[in-house]
A = this chain, B = another copy of it.
Amino acid sequence: MVFQEKNESMVLDSLRNFLADQELALNGRLPPERVLCEELNVTRGKLRKALAVLEGEGQIWRHVGRGTFFGPRPINNLTDVEYLNAHSRPTEVIEARLAIEPQLAKLAAVHGNARNFAEMRRCIRMSRNAREWRVYESWDNNFHQAVAAATCNSLLISLFDTLNIVRRSTVWGQLRPTRLPPSDHKSFAEHDAIYEAVVGREPELAANLMRTHLKSVRDRTYAAMEV
Q: Which residues of A contact B (CB under 8 A)?
A: 20, 26, 57-59, 70-72, 74-82, 84, 87-88, 92-93, 95-96, 99-100, 103-104, 106-107, 126, 132, 134-135, 138-139, 141-142, 145, 153-159, 161-163, 165-166, 168, 172-173
Q: List 30 A-B contacts (CB under 8 A).
A: A20-B132, A58-B139, A58-B142, A59-B135, A71-B134, A71-B138, A71-B141, A72-B142, A72-B145, A75-B161, A76-B162, A77-B165, A79-B161, A79-B162, A84-B155, A84-B158, A88-B155, A92-B156, A95-B107, A95-B156, A96-B155, A99-B104, A99-B156, A100-B100, A100-B159, A155-B163, A158-B162, A159-B159, A159-B162, A159-B163
Question: A47 to nearest B CB, angstroms?
Answer: 20
Alpha-carbon separation in the docked complex, A58 to B139 (Å): 8
B80/A78 in contact, CB under 8 A: yes
Question: A60 to nearest B CB, angstroms?
Answer: 9
Question: A54 to nearest B CB, angstroms?
Answer: 11
Residues of B within 8 A of A88 (CB): 154-155
Residue on B with the closest CB to A169?
Answer: B26
A72-B141, A162-B162 are contacts. A81–B79 as well, Cβ < 8 Å?
yes
Residues of B within 8 A of A139 (CB): 58
Alpha-carbon separation in the docked complex, A96 to B103 (Å): 9
Question: A146 to nearest B CB, angstroms?
Answer: 11
A161-B76, A163-B155 are contacts. A26–B81 as well, Cβ < 8 Å?
no
Alpha-carbon separation in the docked complex, A120 to B173 (Å): 40
